[in-house]
Amino acid sequence: MTTTPTVLMDGLTFPEGPRWHEGRLWFSDFYSHRVIALGLDGKAETIVEVPGRPSGLGWLPDGRLLVVSMLERKLMRLDPGGLVVAGDLSGVAGGPCNDMVVDGKGRAYIGNFGYDRHGGGEYRAADMARVDPDGSVHVVARGLDFPNGTVITPDGTTLICGESHGSRLTAWDVAADGGLSDQRLFADIAPNFPDGICLNAEGDVWCADPRHNECILVEEGGVILDRVSTGDRGAFACMLGGEDRRTLFICTNTASGPKAEQARAGRIEFIEVKTPGAGWP
């Protein structure tokens, strides 16, 4: 078992969607509606406020920020004049939109809950969408069990997504036009529950698990190579960053949903690991 993570920032409502970008950790804090950039020195900057609740983050090749607006079910783009709609997912998302990965061409792959999870809605499988830089929206995978954390390999040819309610990682081939094909099992990790994920340079996947209070490192086929305990706190997302991308940042909390908004117990924690991060994000 790896040693205990260190707290970098606390007092957050619900940190999610972490990304390492330009020397800082960027993440969404759901219930304060903020996208925050956090330095290794602990200094935080609010980049933008998203009234519809921010979630997944990414960047276009020209450097403009993309952010998922969960409740509006839209992809937003931060232009010099402020936020504008980059894609409307309301016609394809069955529930609030969540995590996202943006590839090297600026194509955004976005999951959603599939149903009104916190409002008592009946469970339904979800479809994954792709939003292209021209704003067009395409369904690229159907019938997923709560598609959540998503990564793309460094060569841009494979996308891996954590299906939270399926306790598995699923992979697809990525075509030149951004389409997905050859859906297959990357790893069955039951009883673990994958939330946010990130990829390392050996092709293994770190999965945050809020139900078992840990992050696990999984290789293709399902062998668990490492575990990082988050004690009595759920691990909701993770990201490899730092100068050499060997720092595993973990978004932790004592609860999710409305209880998290009231508690303001969210934290960014970190720990050093052996193998650096790779790919998108």
Asked whether residue 138 is assigned to any structural domain, the reply reads yes
Please check the confidence at residue 49 and state whether its pLDDT lies above 50.
yes
Q: Which residue has the tokens 């792959």?
A: 109
Asked whether residue 277 is assigned to any structural domain, the reply reads no
Structural domain that includes position 108:
6-272
The total domain count for the chain is 1
Compute the average pLDDT of residues 131-143: 98
Q: Domain of 44: which CATH number?
A: 2.120.10.30
Please check the confidence at residue 99 and state whether its pLDDT lies above 50.
yes
For residues 246 and 234, give the distance between their C-alpha atoms in angstroms, rounded to a whole number.
22
For residues 260 and 172, give the distance between their C-alpha atoms in angstroms, rounded to a whole number.
33
User: Which of the four pLDDT bands, split at 50, 70 and 90, describes residue 117?
Assistant: low
Cα 111 from chain centroid?
9
Distances (CA, A) of 81 to 27, 48, 64: 21, 12, 12
Asked whether residue 280 is assigned to any structural domain, the reply reads no
Asked whether residue 1 is assigned to any structural domain, the reply reads no
**Average pLDDT of the chain?**
95
Q: Per residue in 151-188, pLDDT tens?
A: 999 999 999 999 999 999 999 999 999 999 999 999 99
Rg of the chain on CA atoms, in Å: 17
Q: Per residue in 13-37, pLDDT tens?
A: 999 999 999 999 999 999 999 999 9
Output the 3-class SS for the chain.
Answer: CCCCCEEEEEEECCEEEEEEECCEEEEEEHHHCEEEEECCCCCEEEEEECCCCEEEEEECCCCCEEEEECCCCEEEEEECCEEEEEEECCCCCCCCEEEEEECCCCCEEEEECCCCCCCCCCCCCEEEEEECCCCCEEEEEEEECCEEEEEECCCCCEEEEEEHHHCEEEEEEECCCCCEEEEEEEEECCCCCCCCEEEECCCCEEEEECCCCEEEEECCCCCEEEEEECCCCEEEEEEEECCCCCEEEEEEECCCCHHHHHHCCEEEEEEECCCCECCEC
Please check the confidence at residue 1 and state whether its pLDDT lies above 50.
no
pTM for the whole structure: 0.95
Whole-number pLDDT of residue 105: 97
Whole-number pLDDT of residue 56: 98
Whole-number pLDDT of residue 91: 95
Q: Which of 1-5, 63-67, 111-115, 138-142 has the lowest mean pLDDT?
A: 1-5
Asked whether residue 279 is assigned to any structural domain, the reply reads no
Whole-number pLDDT of residue 118: 61
Whole-number pLDDT of residue 119: 64
List, in order, residues 6 or more apart from 167 with CB less than 8 Å away. Answer: 188, 189, 190, 191, 192, 193, 194
Asked whether residue 158 is assigned to any structural domain, the reply reads yes
- Residue 12, token pair as written in the block: 């957050």
Asked whether residue 222 is assigned to any structural domain, the reply reads yes
Compute the average pLDDT of residues 233-250: 97
For residues 27 and 268, give the distance between their C-alpha atoms in angstroms, rounded to a whole number.
9
Asked whether residue 29 is assigned to any structural domain, the reply reads yes
